[in-house]
Amino acid sequence: MTMEALRERTGIADEAFLRSFTGGGTDADNIDASRCLRCGNALTPDDTGAHRKLVNRGATAFICVRCLAGFLGVTEPFLREKIEYFRKSGCTLFQLQSSGDL
Ligand SMILES: [Zn+2]
């Protein structure tokens, strides 16, 4: 899949897309890296970890797990399962589940 096709599929604006998929972009482009680029929900460590793992390791802006699932054409529960699998495999992109507050 070409980058252009990817961008169209995500429906993310050019600048945000660059940051999220290539790690490019500038600090002046006013993108909130703590929120999903598509739905605006606050991102959790799992969201950013999944994005880094499945989209681009050097990303500087992200989409949440729910949006990522839609983007990849899988269900959210499926993606959550994958995240647990990565976590259990010791992937450093995912924090160990904390029993208390974050
Ligand atoms: Zn989202």
Q: What is the mean pLDDT of residues 31-46?
A: 90
CB within 8 Å of 67: residues ≥ 6 apart = 36, 37, 38, 39
CA–centroid distance, residue 57 to ligand 1 (Å): 18
CA–centroid distance, residue 70 to ligand 1 (Å): 9
Name the more confident of 63 and 24.
Answer: 63
Q: What is the mean pLDDT of residues 31-48?
A: 90
Q: Is the pTM of this model over 0.75?
A: no
CA–centroid distance, residue 39 to ligand 1 (Å): 4
CA–centroid distance, residue 69 to ligand 1 (Å): 9
Question: What per-residue confidence (pLDDT) applies to 101?
Answer: 47
CA–centroid distance, residue 19 to ligand 1 (Å): 15
Name the more confident of 93 and 97.
Answer: 93
Could you tell me the pLDDT band of residue 71, with boundaries at 50, 70 and 90?
confident
Q: How many CB atoms lie within 10 A of CB 29?
A: 14
Name the more confident of 54 and 28.
Answer: 54
Q: What is the mean pLDDT of residues 25-44?
A: 80
